Amino acid sequence: MAGTLETALVQTLNGVQFGFILFMIASGLTVILGILDVLNLAHGELFSIGAYAGIGVFGFVIGVVGPPSGVLGGVVFVLAVLVSVLLTAALLLPVGTVFEALFLRAIYDRDQVYQLVLTFALLLILLDVKKFVWGNTSLRTDAVYSAINSIPTSELVGLNYPTYNVFVILVGIAVVAGLFWFFDRTKTGRIVRATAIDREMATAIGVSTDRVFTLVFALGAFLAGFAGAMAVPPTAATLGMGTNPLVLSFVVIVIGGLGSLRGAFVGALLVGVIRSWMITLYPPGEIAAPFAIMALILLVKPEGLFGTWGETA
Amino acid sequence: MPERVETDGETRYRFLGVEATRREAVALALGVVALFAIPDVTRLSDSLQLSVIHQGLLFGFAAVGLNLLLRHTKLTSFGHAAFFGTGAYATAVLAKYAGLQSVGLLLLGAIAAATVMAALVGALSLRHTGLYFALLTLAFGQLLYAIALGQSALGGSDGMPIRPGPANQPLLLGTTFEPAVYQILTYYLTVVVILVGLFVMYRITQSPFRNALDAIGQERTRARFIGLPVRRYVWAAFVISGVYGGVAGGLYAVVRQYVRPEGTLFFLRSGDILFMAILGGFRTLVGPLIGGVVLIFLQDVGQDVTQYYEFLTGVVLLVLVYGFPRGIVGSLRSGGVVSTRLRQLRREPSAVADWARSAGRTAERKAVESLSSLRIILFGVD
Amino acid sequence: MKRTEPTERDTGGIGRRRLLSAIGGSAVAAALAGCSTLLSDGGGQQSGDGGDSGGSIPEEPIQAGLLTFTKGAPGVLGIQAQRGAELAVQRINEAGGIGGQRRIELDVVDEGSNPLDSYNQFIEEGKEVTFGPISSGTHSQIAPEVEKNEVVNVGTDGTVTTLYEETVPDPTYSFRFQNYDIMEVVTMAREAVERIGADEIETVAGVNPGYSFGEDEMRVFKQAITKLTGAEVVYEGFPELGASDMSNHITSINSEQPDVTFSSLWGGDVTTFVRQASANDMFDNTTVFGTTLYSAAGDVPADALAGTDIYSGSRNYYWGHPALGNWQPGRELFDAATAQDGVTVPTAHYMSGYGAVTAWATAVEKAIDLLGTYPSQGQIAQMLEGHGFFTPAGYHNMAEDHQGSSNSFAGAMVYDDDLGAARLDDVNIYSAAETAPPPGVAGSAWLDSWSS
Amino acid sequence: MLEARNLHKSFGELVATDDVSLEFGQEDGELVFIVGPNGAGKTTFINLLTGFLSPDEGSIVLDGDDITAMSADERVDAGIARSFQVVKVFEEMTVRENLRTVVLTERGKTWSLFSMADGHADVERTVDDLLSKFRLDDAANTVAEELPHGDRKLLDVAMSFGLDPDYLLLDEPTSGVSTREKEYVIETVVEVGREAGVTTVTIEHDMDIVTEYADRVVALHQGAVHGVGPPTMLETDDELRRLLLGVGE
């Protein structure tokens, strides 16, 4: 398969896939940022806990389902993986809840810098909690990646592209759609947005901001856990895996506009795809690429691509 | 010679514009003596290392610079390692490619480079405030980190040595020294730089310039409408604070004779610098310096004691946020948390039980609250 | 299994006495070479020459320090080195200690954060010898300090080329058991030619970790392979250390279909790379040759290596060569190593730790033998220069340029179900002369001098 | 003279300032009051004059010079000062420090990095003067956020006076002040303004105050100028009365 066009297509798809993983991480961060006005430095650790916990959940669920065989088996297996990812993400809900109610709530009215110290302290603590629970070495889940790849998809159209990546893109689209639906169409979502636009007004019409904040933080943790479980099968869970996604999410948020979900989506795909092309065309620029994109966009559009949360969901 | 002045019925001493009560003057004198005595003190115990304290002072000095922004303009920079790293790398580049050997010239180079870098980063990120500013400084810091990592001329991840000339060592007063002597002499150099730097910072914080920064930090809009070109002032403060980082970084390079991206430019170093300021007390002048020594010491000792030392640091930061938001120096001051509680304790020893009870009650309430929130999230309102 | 006495046949027809003197003549040297069985029937007295000098050798234990990665991603390499060093120390102590009475106490410190401080702490604590580090950056950082402190350090790895060419051009106290990058890279360039044929290699690509080590390795490989085959370099990718996604690099390889893909990925990155490469059918398009892929031997899962086409080097030690059944010292080392915590199979990094300690200990023994007293740091350093010694991996020489010179190994990397880890099949051995420049010649100059 | 020439400003659909042309300060120390119902564009107009907003169309001219492109801080230097509807003072500073900061800025001394902030004798004299004029001596060492509301308003206005302006634009200096304190605040403003010869433009809702103190009244409605005239206009213009008070037919 040496066709230039095909390579360009696959490279772009690689970028899209990476972009969707990035979006799953950054969306949680940006929602928390937009509504609570808190920059959660521990978000990367939540992502990595999702990866570690995901390995356990995959092991259990797939042990029950068994490897895929035939079309029906394939469908069942994919569903089992999805259920595992959702279960893993659900495990993060109480973590997010406790964070918000126990730690953050006490310091909303203090200088913002204390929130940074607090979430950084939680980052350090979680780092060692992971070490304590899962040990010092990296962990892998063996079955998921190869099993899903054994289901033919892109091969059907003559493309050499792993089915797992197709899976990530599809799930990513579902997450995007789900989030927009939640914030645009559901009552709870609208209440959350209203709170983001005007806290006082929301309180005045009887919204409990405490509860909204807890909900939003739990949602952020849920998304981080979801992303962790989705990201881990092709690679490994390691203690330091939270750092890079965290920093890349910052870049995505700056590009997209602070607290804008749409911005995070466009930013994540932009970073994913441009980074992908950069690796192809100028490999040494790999690490600097996201930051270079960010600097460029800031020069052209200092406010980021989209406005702030609430006005443009 | 110090001159005696009476203000508000208190005897104060004034020297070179530094005004202090008798107590403060004594503390100051003791502090200076302690700084100079540290190389001798560290010889007494194996657990105290000069290099660790030295490193703490250097990062703490960068935090003193950052504090100009944090304390007065209320801007939180999460990218101050950029200037520390720029100073350090400028020193390394000058030593390697320009063959500069004199410590003085190397440090001047570090200052120049950090000034330019801070001017640039400041111009690009100061359009924003709050978290956006924090994120931007962080991202620019990471950009520099990525550049240092990617450039083989800068040694990539391996870093660069600062070993110029035939002596393989920067020259102090044109002379080379044994490693142990070199370490002590550079330490004294650091102490002198720090004392000068603190003095300069003290004078800045007594000057009209500080009033302008405070005005901007406390009410930005009003500051514009009393005629302050806000961006220009904040930018100037940003550059000054960057220069402190650059000086610290340059000294770091000269002292350790080696720089690596990880140790000087990585965003967690920026975090360290920020947390040092808060740990020590960002409403004080010397707090960040003390925070620097304490944090680095904590990380170093923690590593020897337990493999879970990050947990330890995290818990210390938590205690800081909830118990001592004014930091070490801020809490120890008269009127701070510590002295208030101590006074209370002396009067009423049973107060401890009350504190414990109230802390327990708070924790319990919080736990119940978070459980009920969780229930609502999972199962909806019943 | 009944342990039999080695016979003349086992030792290649050399008499026990001659063998003993060949490996260094002392109990410690014999133990470290894995020939302790030689001593069981009184051979120990043979070694007594160094050990009995009594009064002139101090009795207190030798404080030694090892700087290595004990956690995180590079722990995969570092813990191997640590276990190797620990086994060597254990064998020395069981053989009665250095000079027959000085036991070694090894203090292991993580080189992950502030290695310079950790090293200085060693010196402040009065360590008599230090070993390590693993990383090149750390090595460049501490080598000049070693020279200033005048305490011998035997580097386990830190194989950066510039160490003895630029950083410390004329070392006295700094040594390195492993040779520099060039040796392992040239080994793999030769291995590629050996397996595929110089005429068949027209295009090469690289996927190397995105930091100094990976960039250096790729640079050397380019130089070597173009000299050997005249091949064209069609792609160079540098995924970040610990990258979760290498799809882009793999797609580029698929697009270019190079005859050879060179890789110096190590540890967990190997598994990520191999898995994602398999998923993208990359092995239909290229053959991978790597220097340190085998460092992931115990980490790489069974399914990942299925259907791959990978050759890996294993520096100066591969546990399975000579075959364990034919080589008692190798067998004993393998058994001892796999009984240790965290060692699935001993890799080249295991030997880095083991060999560094061995190089130092045997040199000190030799010095004691010659001087009759315990040697000074200067004397140990002098003794180490040009020092020859044995480990179960064979004969090593600490050349005049202060780095170890030994045979190197490479083979096809496959999964071994019985072992529960990867092994190398069909192992080739390359001599030091083939893979590294003679002492005194700079690496790049040596490569330049090859006729193409 | 400060002139607005054909100012336009709209926010999306909403036209906040619709072709407004006005002149202030034909005579020194003139006291102009701006009146109008909520949403008439009073605050927007002041925001345009002071550079808080820039107009979509039209220009602002000070003593013959077009200052439309000037930044807010440059306009302050040029002699236009303002206060805000919601008190904006430097909350963590004492009253004295607030005023000192203003006067230091006005004297161009805030670029001095190494003089003592409290060491400029001329500045301290002006600060003392302001303190006594605005009757804030007793509160001089009180931190701003702890001041009673009336004093905060006074401090706010005092800070604007501290800039030694030629034109002072006050956005509802009496809002939120108790009836008893209102008189006190406005009287102080008028007294000090007259004495210093400052042209004062004040947005005010309390028609009694306007009637009592105004030299001239400007009425705005739906972004446009409804009328300009003496305070008696409030009595004579029925439509204006209806707009302002909701009285009339």
User: Tokens for C3?
Assistant: 């342990």
Contact present, C92 and C158 (Cβ < 8 Å): no
Mean pLDDT over each residue of chain D, to the nearest integer: 89
For residue C357, give Cα distances in angstroms to A64, A204, C82, C88.
Answer: 49, 73, 11, 6
Asked if pLDDT for residue C286 goes beyond 90, the answer is yes
Domain boundaries C182-315+407-449, corresponding CATH code: 3.40.50.2300
Q: Which of A161, A231, A287 sits opposite C240 (nearest CB)?
A: A287
Which pLDDT tens digit goes with each residue over B158-212?
Answer: 889 898 888 788 988 888 888 788 889 999 999 999 999 999 999 999 999 999 9
| Three-class secondary structure of residue B20 per DSSP | strand
* Residue A56, in any domain of the structure: yes
Is A218 in contact with B369 (Cβ distance < 8 A)?
Answer: no
The confidence score (pLDDT) of residue D108 equals: 92
Q: A101 to chain B nearest CA, in Å?
A: 5
pLDDT band at C36 (very low <50, low <70, confident <90, very high): low
Contact present, A211 and B373 (Cβ < 8 Å): yes
- Name the least confident of A303-312, B197-206, C65-74, D185-194: A303-312
Nearest to C418 by CA among C338, C354, C350, C310: C338
Q: Report the neighbours of C using a cutoff of 3 or more CB pairs below 8 angstroms.
A: A, B
Q: Is D155 on the interface with B (CB under 8 A)?
A: no
Same domain, B63 and B36: no
Asked if pLDDT for residue C5 goes beyond 60, the answer is no
Q: Nearest-CA residue of chain D relative to B228? A: D73
Contact present, C154 and C139 (Cβ < 8 Å): no
User: Distance between CA A123 and CA A39 in Å, rounded?
Assistant: 12
Is C117 in contact with B179 (Cβ distance < 8 A)?
Answer: no
Q: Where are the beta strands (DSSP E) in D83-231?
A: 167-171, 199-203, 216-221, 224-229
**Those residues with Cβ within 8 angstroms of residue A86's Cβ, 6 or more apart along the chain or in another chain:** A226
**Those residues with Cβ within 8 angstroms of residue C441's Cβ, 6 or more apart along the chain or in another chain:** none
* Residue B98, in any domain of the structure: yes
Give me the residue spans of the domains in chain C. Answer: 16-179+322-405, 182-315+407-449
Q: A283 to chain B nearest CA, in Å?
A: 11
User: Tokens for C74?
Assistant: 């590079």
* Residue D185, in any domain of the structure: yes
* Residue D2, in any domain of the structure: no
Interface test with C, best of A17, A146, A235 (most C CBs within 10 A): A235
Same domain, B317 and B198: yes
Tell me the CATH number at D86.
Answer: 3.40.50.300
Q: B69 to chain C nearest CA, in Å?
A: 29
Is C149 in contact with B158 (Cβ distance < 8 A)?
Answer: no
Is D116 in contact with B204 (Cβ distance < 8 A)?
Answer: no
Which pLDDT tens digit goes with each residue over C211-220?
Answer: 889 989 999 9
Same domain, B272 and B360: no
pLDDT band at A308 (very low <50, low <70, confident <90, very high): low
Q: C110 to chain A nearest CA, in Å?
A: 13
Is B222 in contact with D84 (Cβ distance < 8 A)?
Answer: yes
> Consecutive 10-residue runs of chain B (382 residues): their mean pLDDT?
69 77 84 90 79 94 96 93 97 94 95 97 87 87 89 86 85 84 92 96 95 95 94 96 97 93 90 92 92 90 80 89 86 71 74 76 74 64 44
Q: What's the whole-number mean pLDDT along residues C308-312?
A: 94
Q: Is D168 on the interface with B (CB under 8 A)?
A: no
Same domain, B32 and B98: no
| Three-class secondary structure of residue D33 per DSSP | strand
Same domain, B13 and B79: no
Q: Which residues does residue C200 pair with via DSSP β-bridges, in sequence order?
A: none
The count of C-alpha atoms lying within 13 angstroms of the C-alpha of A275, restricted to the half-sphere facing its C-beta, is 29
* Residue A306, in any domain of the structure: no
Residues above pLDDT 90, as percent of chain C = 59
The amino acid present at B63, given as its one-letter code, is A
Q: Which of B49, B52, B157 sits opposite C137 (nearest CB)?
A: B157
Asked if pLDDT for residue C39 goes beyond 60, the answer is no
Same domain, B303 and B366: no
SS3 percent helix, strand, coil of chain B, rounded to 5, is: 75, 5, 20
pLDDT band at C7 (very low <50, low <70, confident <90, very high): very low
Q: What ipTM goes with this model?
A: 0.85
Q: Is A238 on the interface with C (CB under 8 A)?
A: yes
Q: How many domains does chain A have?
A: 1
Is C211 in contact with B179 (Cβ distance < 8 A)?
Answer: no
State phi, psi for A39 to the nearest 5 degrees.
-95, 105
Q: B211 to chain D nearest CA, in Å?
A: 6
User: Distance between CA B369 and CA D59 in Å, rounded?
Assistant: 57
Which pLDDT tens digit goes with each residue over A17-73?
Answer: 999 999 999 999 999 988 888 899 999 999 999 999 999 999 998 888 877 777 788
The confidence score (pLDDT) of residue C231 equals: 95
Query: Domain range for residue A292?
Result: 4-300
Which pLDDT tens digit goes with each residue over B334-371?
Answer: 666 677 777 777 777 777 777 778 777 777 777 777 67
Please report residues of B whose CB lies closer than 8 A to that of C210: 149-150
* Residue B127, in any domain of the structure: yes
Q: Is C170 on the interface with B (CB under 8 A)?
A: no
The confidence score (pLDDT) of residue C151 equals: 95
The confidence score (pLDDT) of residue D249 equals: 38
Total length of chain A: 313
* Residue A269, in any domain of the structure: yes
CATH architecture of C16-179+322-405: 3-Layer(aba) Sandwich (3.40)
Write the DSSP symbol of residue C325. G
User: Tokens for B132?
Assistant: 């956006």
Q: Is C301 on the interface with A (CB under 8 A)?
A: yes
Is B156 in contact with C167 (Cβ distance < 8 A)?
Answer: no
Asked if pLDDT for residue D93 goes beyond 70, the answer is yes
Q: Which of C210, C279, C342 sits opposite A162 (nearest CB)?
A: C279
Q: Is A286 on the interface with C (CB under 8 A)?
A: yes
Same domain, B113 and B145: yes
Q: What's the whole-number mean pLDDT along residues C19-37?
A: 75
Contact present, B5 and B25 (Cβ < 8 Å): no
Which pLDDT tens digit goes with each residue over D125-146?
Answer: 999 999 998 889 999 999 999 9
pLDDT band at C12 (very low <50, low <70, confident <90, very high): very low
Tell me the CATH number at B233.
Answer: 1.10.3470
Mean pLDDT over each residue of chain C, to the nearest integer: 87
Interface test with C, best of B48, B157, B264, B301 (most C CBs within 10 A): B157
User: Tokens for D113?
Assistant: 């990095």
Please report residues of D whose CB lies closer than 8 A to that of B203: 113-114
Which pLDDT tens digit goes with each residue over C361-392?
Answer: 999 999 998 888 999 999 999 999 999 999 99
Is A284 in contact with B138 (Cβ distance < 8 A)?
Answer: no
Query: Domain range for residue B368?
Result: 348-379
* Residue B186, in any domain of the structure: yes
Q: Report the neighbours of B using a cutoff of 3 or more CB pairs below 8 angstroms.
A: A, C, D
Nearest to C97 by CA among C150, C51, C34, C132: C51
Interface test with B, best of A35, A39, A239, A271 (most B CBs within 10 A): A39
pLDDT band at C312 (very low <50, low <70, confident <90, very high): very high
* Residue A174, in any domain of the structure: yes
Same domain, B199 and B243: yes
* Residue B161, in any domain of the structure: yes
For residue B247, give Cα distances in angstroms to B87, B147, D22.
Answer: 6, 21, 55
Contact present, C100 and C166 (Cβ < 8 Å): no
Which pLDDT tens digit goes with each residue over A131-164?
Answer: 999 987 788 888 889 888 888 887 778 788 899 9
Interchain CB contacts (distance < 8 Å): B and C: 59
Residue whose token pair is 């005239």: D229
Nearest to A91 by CA among A225, A232, A216, A213: A225
Please report residues of B whose CB lies closer than 8 A to that of C117: 49, 51-52, 55, 300
Q: How many domains does chain D have?
A: 1
Q: Which residues does residue D14 pair with via DSSP β-bridges, in sequence order?
A: D11
The confidence score (pLDDT) of residue C18 equals: 67
Q: Is D120 on the interface with B (CB under 8 A)?
A: yes
Is C279 in contact with A164 (Cβ distance < 8 A)?
Answer: yes
The confidence score (pLDDT) of residue B225 equals: 94
Please report residues of C whose CB lies closer than 8 A to that of B263: 114
Q: B374 to chain A nearest CA, in Å?
A: 6
Residues 263-282 of A with CB under 8 A from C: 276, 279-280
Q: D13 to chain B nearest CA, in Å?
A: 26
* Residue A309, in any domain of the structure: no
Contact present, A159 and A6 (Cβ < 8 Å): yes
For residue D98, give Cα distances in angstroms to B19, B69, B277, D218.
Answer: 22, 20, 26, 32
The amino acid present at B206, given as its one-letter code, is Q
User: Tokens for D183?
Assistant: 């008189």
Asked if pLDDT for residue D88 goes beyond 70, the answer is yes
Query: Are D and A neighbours with ≥3 CB pairs closer than 8 A?
Result: no
Q: What's the whole-number mean pLDDT along residues D24-28?
A: 82
> Which residues of B lie inside 8 Å of D (Cβ-Cβ)?
17, 203-204, 206-212, 214-215, 218-219, 221-222, 224-230, 233
Q: Nearest-CA residue of chain B relative to C120? A: B51
C16-179+322-405 with C182-315+407-449: one CATH topology?
A: yes
Is D117 in contact with B207 (Cβ distance < 8 A)?
Answer: yes
Query: Domain range for residue D125?
Result: 27-38+79-245
- Read off the pTM: 0.87
- Name the least confident of C17-21, C429-433, D234-238: C17-21
Q: Which of C71, C144, C213 sits opposite B161 (nearest CB)?
A: C144
Q: What is the DSSP string of C278-292?
A: HHTTGGGT-EEEESS
Please indicate whether residue C204 or residue C20 has the higher confidence score (pLDDT).
C204
The count of C-alpha atoms lying within 13 angstroms of the C-alpha of A28, restricted to the half-sphere facing its C-beta, is 32
Is C140 in contact with B52 (Cβ distance < 8 A)?
Answer: no
User: Distance between CA C146 and CA C130 in Å, rounded?
Assistant: 9
Q: What's the whole-number mean pLDDT along residues D65-91?
A: 92
Residues 67-86 of B with CB under 8 A from A: 70, 74, 76, 78
Q: Is B27 on the interface with A (CB under 8 A)?
A: no
User: Distance between CA B127 and CA A9 in Å, rounded?
Assistant: 38
User: Distance between CA A87 and CA A104 in Å, rounded?
Assistant: 25
Same domain, B33 and B84: no
Which pLDDT tens digit goes with each residue over C138-164?
Answer: 998 899 989 988 999 999 998 888 888
Q: Is A133 on the interface with B (CB under 8 A)?
A: no
Interchain CB contacts (distance < 8 Å): A and C: 107
Please report residues of C whose CB lies closer than 8 A to that of B55: 114, 117
User: Distance between CA D22 and CA B6 in Å, rounded?
Assistant: 55
The confidence score (pLDDT) of residue A12 equals: 93
Total length of chain C: 452
SS3 assignment for A68-130: CCHHHHHHHHHHHHHHHHHHHHHHHHHHHHHHHHHHHHHHCCCCHHHHHHHHHHHHHHHHHHH
- Helix H or strand E segment including B258: strand B258-259
Q: How many domains does chain B have?
A: 3
User: Distance between CA B237 and CA B229 in Å, rounded?
Assistant: 13
Tell me the CATH number at A110.
Answer: 1.10.3470
Please indicate whether residue A14 or residue B302 has the higher confidence score (pLDDT).
A14
State phi, psi for C275 to the nearest 5 degrees.
-60, -50
| Three-class secondary structure of residue C74 per DSSP | coil
Q: What's the whole-number mean pLDDT along residues D61-80?
A: 93
**Those residues with Cβ within 8 angstroms of residue B351's Cβ, 6 or more apart along the chain or in another chain:** B341, B344, B345
Residues above pLDDT 90, as percent of chain A = 45
Contact present, C265 and C42 (Cβ < 8 Å): no
* Residue D7, in any domain of the structure: no
Which pLDDT tens digit goes with each residue over A207-257?
Answer: 788 888 999 999 999 999 999 999 999 999 988 899 889 989 999 998 888
